[in-house]
Amino acid sequence: MQEYFEIGQIVNTFGIKGEVKVKPYTDDIQQFKKLKTILVEKNKVTTEMKIVEAKFHKEMVLLKLEGVDDMNEAEKLKGASIKIHRKDARKLDEDEYFIADILGSDVYTDTGSYLGKVDDIYNSGAQDIYVVKDELGKQILLPSIKEVILDIDIEKQKVTVHLLKGLVDDE
């Protein structure tokens, strides 16, 4: 399991007092208000930084970081990834998982057929969609509904699915 989670990216500066604009990668942006520190990674250098203030503006997060007091300092952080320790992540409910823990998992049908690995997970609005890619690069899109995603075993890195009629091309 991953020790750190990437929860956003600094995409720009905001104002003249050193605030940065963050594109969040989490579905719970309120999490930024609860964090005291973040890890800022740029050019393979990771620095722990203290959050002075977190605000929200047009689905973006505005952060004031300790030691970043003007636009020039904020500009240097543009493009940086924001990560947090696993221990600082929000607590999950039963049957909830971090996407980072599912990515790369082997996907098998309930009849034992190997489909490939979880290559990506994205939200379609109605539910998450699992992108499963086989060795040849062919993709299968599976909706994250209980009739399709039967079991997720994080320890074994295995996802068991049931293919409903019409989900996969019958060749």
CATH architecture, domain defined by 4-88: Beta Barrel (2.40)
Cα–Cα distance for residue pair 30/49, rounded to 1 Å: 18
H or E segment to which residue 82 belongs: strand 81-85
Query: Given this chain, do its domains 4-88 and 99-161 carry the same CATH topology?
Result: no
Place of tokens 């996969």: 168
Q: Count the residues in the chain.
A: 171
pLDDT for position 130: 94
Report the pLDDT averaged over residues 49-78. Answer: 95
Q: Is residue 27 pLDDT above 90, yes or no?
A: no
Going by C-alpha positions, the residue among 164, 157, 141, 159 that lies closest to residue 149 is: 159
Six-digit token pair at 109? 């049908």
Place of tokens 């493009």: 79
What DSSP designation does 92 have? P
pLDDT tens digits along 66-79:
999 999 999 999 99
Instruction: Return the domain boundaries, the chain.
Output: 4-88, 99-161
> Which residues are bridge partners to 65 per DSSP?
51
pLDDT for position 113: 93
Quick check: pTM over 0.95? no
Cα–Cα distance for residue pair 165/1, rounded to 1 Å: 33
pLDDT for position 171: 47
Mean model confidence pLDDT for the chain: 91
What DSSP designation does 91 have? P
> Order of strands, edge to edge, in the sheet holding 158-161?
139-143, 128-133, 114-123, 106-109, 158-161, 149-153
pLDDT tens digits along 64-117:
999 999 999 999 999 999 999 988 888 888 878 888 899 999 999 999 999 999
CATH class of the domain defined by 99-161: mainly beta
Torsions phi, psi of 143, nearest 5?
A: -70, 145
Cα–Cα distance for residue pair 164/167, rounded to 1 Å: 6
